[in-house]
Every structure is written in C-alpha cells, then in structure tokens.
Structure 1
Amino acid sequence: MASLAGCGLLSQFLGAVAAKRGGCSLQEHARPLQRLFRPDRGPHIRPGRRAYSSDSKPADDLSVRYLDGSDSGIVVFGINRPKAKNAISKNLVKMMSEAVDAVKVNNKVRTVIVCSLVPGVFCAGADLKERAKMHQNEVGPFVSKARALITELGNLPMPTIAAIDGAALGGGLELALACDIRVAATSAKMGLVETKLAIIPGAGGTQRLPRAIGVSLAKELIFAGRVVDGTQAKELGLVNHAVEQNNSGDAAYHRALDLAREFVPQGPIAIRMAKLAINQGIEVDLATGLAIEEACYAQVIPTKDRIEGLAAFKEKRPPRYKGE
C-alpha cells in the first residue's frame, strides 16, 4: 500500500465515502419537475398523467426527480430552459450545483441521468446573451463556477449517464463529457465549437474529449469547431450508444433509463468502488492503478452486501442489496 502514498485524492475519497455512507434524505433538496415524466415513457408524456406519488410543481431551469417503484435509486436531472435552448446560465449552474451536492451524500442514489426536457436540444452551451451583459471581470468567475459544477458532476460516486436527444454544443457537450456514459439520438448534434468564437473549451473539454476519443481526433474536432451527429459520435467513441430518434424525441432518454435499470440491481458500494478504481487508476501507471484497485477492493470485503451476494448465489435467488 506504500505505492498509494502519492494518491492523496484516493485516500480523501475513500474517507468521504465511508463518512457519507449513512447519507441523508434527498427529498428536502429535490426540485419538482415542470412536466411529469414516467419511467416507461420518458420525459415527455401526455398531460394529466400522474407519474409519481409526490406533487409536481413548476420549476425554473432544472427539474430533479427521484424515480420510485422498481426504478427506485434512479435520479433524473432534467434541464428545462426552452427559450434559451437549455443554455448554461448563472441560475442553471446554481440549481444544478445544489442538485449535485444533494445526490452525492445520499447512499440510496444508484444512478443519475442528465437529460433535457426541451425537445430537440440537450444543451446549447453557455448563455451568450447573459454572457454579453456581464462585465469583463465577471466572466472568469462565472466560467470557474461552471467548471467547478461540471467537475463535481464528474466526481459523483455513483454512475452518471447523459441522454443526448438533441444539440449538445460547447459547454453542453462538456457537461455530457463529465458523465460516465453518453447515449445519443442519431439525429443529435455534438461539438466543442468554442474556437469559432475565438475562445477555447473552458469547462473541461480540452481534457475530457482527448480522454474519450484520443488526442489526435480531439485536436481535429476542437481546432475545426466541428459538429458531428449521433452516428458519427458513436464511431468516434464519443458516445456509448446511438439510437434512432422516436416520435416523442426522447429515444436517448429511454436508452439511458434501460442502462440505469441494469446498474440498479448490482451492489451499490461495489459500483461506487469500481468507478473510483477506474477513474483514479486511468490517470496513473499500471502498478499504482493496481494498488488503487486493491484499496478499493478492501472497502467491499467487510460489507453486508458482499455476504448477501454470496448467500443469494448459494440459495439461487436475486440478491437484496442495501448499500451496507
């Protein structure tokens, strides 16, 4: 374990996981959806249908919902700024930061899906109209807050999935890149287009895109400010899955929900430790990465879930994991 001495982040993270395992209820932090969305139909459903037990009230730029029933443990962040094409504003950054802070301390949250409630767009990047009204000395701090939000999203301990059913440009694609998994409609448009505005991606794009698709391809896309569709994004490795869009415009959301349903039954502590081992290990040499894996494995040995998994296997029944 001495080889882990240089991995301060790992030690801090493991301590945080252990300290926060008890978690707290998210209900007081949850912001209701402007429009209901039913797990089996996606974010856009017929008016008058009731999807969840709690009341839904109008929300501003972001809606957060905790699915129930068999989908309990799945949380959906729905971006909802139709007049601004879901552009990233000060208020959206604030609301999403609050949502991220809430889920990261809740051990009942198994997967987070980030999607759009606005048909045809995921996120059009920075709100340039709002940006134009900012004084020059306000721009830097705002970009720093947006970058911090996207970093915190990337650091969530549970799996995160971006459902890209429309345009994801600039900061919108950077938001998706911070998620563990990306699913896109074949008709979706994606690109880091900042060089067209004489700036560079400022919320992690220059770092996460090369890690996702390789350095040379990332340079080509960023230098050209090129936009690709969902099919091309799948070929490049930018998204895990590309699906044909449906009539309701939420095909990527449905695919993301299917993925989340595959993750939920698995041991939640094991999933979190696997994510940590991968994220930390990919940044270091193999020997250190293996030591990180060993340290993460050690965290699952004393859990009740591990004993439950063995008992369920022996008794030939589905395991009942509690995250303990």
Structure 2
Amino acid sequence: MDKVLLQKDGNVAIITINNPKALNALSTEVLQDLEAAVLDVKNDKDIYAVIVTGAGEKSFVAGADIAEMKDKTVEEAAEYGRFGNKVFRDIETLEKPVIAAINGFALGGGNELAMACDIRLAAENAVFGQPEVGLGITPGFGGTQRLARLIPVGLAKEIIYTGRNIKAPKALEIGLVNALYPLEELMPAALKMAKGIAKNAPLAVAASKKAINEGLNQTIDGGIATEVAEFSGCFATEDQKYGMDCFLNKVKEKQFSNK
C-alpha cells in the first residue's frame, strides 16, 4: 500500500492517507489502498479502535482526483462512484469504531470520508466543504446522504448548493465535528480517545455501533428491538461476565478478552 499507511499501536490502528503532494486526494489507487487497509483492520482481532488521518499538516483529504475524473464516461463515473461508496461503507459498517483525525482540508471526498467515520475530531485549521457543484457534478461518495443525516437538512443543502467551504469553528457549531484541537494536539487527542474506547469490551462496543447505525434507519420501535437483540446477545459473551464481576468486586483495571 504505497498511498495509505497502516500502523498499529497496541489495540489501535492508525490509517494515514499518504498522498501529500496531491493534498491526499482520493485517486483510484488511494481508494484501493484504503480498501486494503480497512480489510486488514477488519480481520485483525487484536484491533479494537481505528483512527483515519491524512499525511502532512495541510490536508486530511482535499477531495477526489479531478485530473483522473475529468474525462470519465457516464459508465466509468458510475463505476468510480460505486467503488468510492463501497470503500466508505466498509468504514461505516466496520465493527470497530473509527475516529477521523481531520488535520486540514476535508473537501469533497475528504468530507465524505470523515462523515463515514463514527467520530470526527478536527484541527483548528481544518476546512470543510462539498464544492462539487462548482465542478459541474454532485457529491459522489455519499455526501448528499450523510451530510443531511448529520446536520440540519437546510444547512446541508446550503453547503452543497453553494459549494462554499466552512471553517472548523462553524463545523463544530453545526455538529459536523465533535471537538477542535490545535494541530499539534490532534493526534494525541485522537489516540487518547481510541485507547479509551479500546479499554472497553470490544464486542459490546461493536454491538453498540450496530444498534446505533441500524436504528437510525428504523422506526423507534424497530430501533429498540435491535437494541434489545444486541443487549441480550452480550450475555452470551465472556466479557459480559468478566466485566460485571469486575464491577461487583471493585476491580478498576480490566482486561477484556474479546470473547
């Protein structure tokens, strides 16, 4: 994987988009490497949380590769869109929680990648936007769908229709990101959060993610049924018995087995 780096720090995986000369733009090669990295993390039972970030200090992901897209036919564009969406859905549905550490520009496909993650932490210099209409296209990697689910629909439409960028404080104000940090503090904060998540029972975290994601597309009654199924399923795990024993015996330092 030349365009994506995968590092592991204990039970945390760090996926870095490594195309800084192009501001980490999402070429087909980058998407293919990202797909491979996500598959690696998915299959690694010792990884309990994931961080996605961009190389350098300017850009998380500045968008898709416009030079590569420019001359695509309708059929080629559809294939490209389906592939990008497939990779982002792999991230969104990954059993392990994913934190986006947004270290600069998150435009177009970059904002779409961030939105596919569970939690978004951003540097104070980060800039967000969906500028596609200024290029004669729509967002193509889930932007029209996820943005309107994350923030008020009217704001999502304004951002997409105008193509204007928004700065980090505005992104925090409207709920697009969870928190802001000075650039030098961003990765330490993301790593601290990821390691905090990884200390909890991995199967319970995965079940919580599934219940939230599936429940968002159901009625409240359907969502509650999903939650009850995930909740009760935890009682078949060793981690449930261990976690409750630790609580009753006042054991603070726990080591879940992921079983």
State the TM-score, normalized to the length of structure 2: 0.96
Identity %: 36
Equivalent pair of 2:62/2:110 in contact (CA under 8 Å): yes
**Aligned residue among 138, 141, 155 for 1:217:** 155
Task: Report the alpha carbon displacement of residue 138 of structure 1 after superposing the two structures with TM.
Answer: 2.4
Provide the C-alpha distance between the structure 2 equivalents of 1:148 and 1:213, rounded to a whole number of angstroms: 23
Task: Report the alpha carbon displacement of residue 245 of structure 1 after superposing the two structures with TM.
Answer: 2.7
1:78-227 to structure 2, matched below 5 A, reads 78-132=16-70, 134=72, 137-227=75-165
Equivalent pair of 1:213/1:236 in contact (CA under 8 Å): yes
- 314 and 195 in structure 1: CA distance in 2 versus 1, 3 angstrom threshold: same
Q: For residue 140 of structure 1, give the secondary structure of its aligned residue in structure 2.
A: helix
- The reply on whether 1:292 has 2:235 as its aligned counterpart is no
Provide the C-alpha distance between the structure 2 equivalents of 1:144 and 1:292, rounded to a whole number of angstroms: 28
Task: Report the alpha carbon displacement of residue 298 of structure 1 after superposing the two structures with TM.
Answer: 1.9
Provide the C-alpha distance between the structure 2 equivalents of 1:182 and 1:138, rounded to a whole number of angstroms: 31
Equivalent pair of 2:11/2:195 in contact (CA under 8 Å): no
**Partner residue of 2:256?**
321
Q: Which has the larger radius of gyration?
A: 1
**Partner residue of 2:4?**
62
Provide the C-alpha distance between the structure 2 equivalents of 1:202 and 1:134, rounded to a whole number of angstroms: 14
Task: Report the alpha carbon displacement of residue 133 of structure 1 after superposing the two structures with TM.
Answer: 5.2
Provide the C-alpha distance between the structure 1 equivalents of 2:222 and 2:74, rounded to a whole number of angstroms: 43
Task: Report the alpha carbon displacement of residue 166 of structure 1 after superposing the two structures with TM.
Answer: 0.4
Higher helix share: 2
Residue type at the aligned position of 1:241 = A
Residue type at the aligned position of 2:169 = T
1:254-293 to structure 2, matched below 5 A, reads 254-293=188-227
Equivalent pair of 2:125/2:183 in contact (CA under 8 Å): yes
Moved over 6 A (4+): none
Question: Which stretches in structure 2 are left out of the alignment for 5+ residues?
Answer: none
Work out the number of aligned pairs and report it: 258
**Aligned residue among 225, 237, 258 for 1:303:** 237
Task: Report the alpha carbon displacement of residue 316 of structure 1 after superposing the two structures with TM.
Answer: 1.9
Residue type at the aligned position of 2:11 = G
Provide the C-alpha distance between the structure 1 equivalents of 2:205 and 2:83, rounded to a whole number of angstroms: 28
State the TM-score, normalized to the length of structure 1: 0.77
Task: Report the aligned-residue RMSD.
Answer: 1.3
Q: Deviations over 1:34-66 (max 9, x none)?
A: xxxxxxxxxxxxxxxxxxxxxxxxxx2110011
Q: Deviations over 1:271-310 (max 9, x none)?
A: 0000000111111111111100011112200111111112
Provide the C-alpha distance between the structure 2 equivalents of 1:151 and 1:261, rounded to a whole number of angstroms: 23
Question: Which stretches in structure 1 are left out of the alignment for 5+ residues?
Answer: 1-30, 32-59
Provide the C-alpha distance between the structure 2 equivalents of 1:191 and 1:204, rounded to a whole number of angstroms: 13
Equivalent pair of 1:164/1:253 in contact (CA under 8 Å): no
Provide the C-alpha distance between the structure 2 equivalents of 1:194 and 1:175, rounded to a whole number of angstroms: 15
Q: For residue 182 of structure 1, give the secondary structure of its aligned residue in structure 2.
A: strand
Q: For residue 113 of structure 1, give the secondary structure of its aligned residue in structure 2.
A: strand
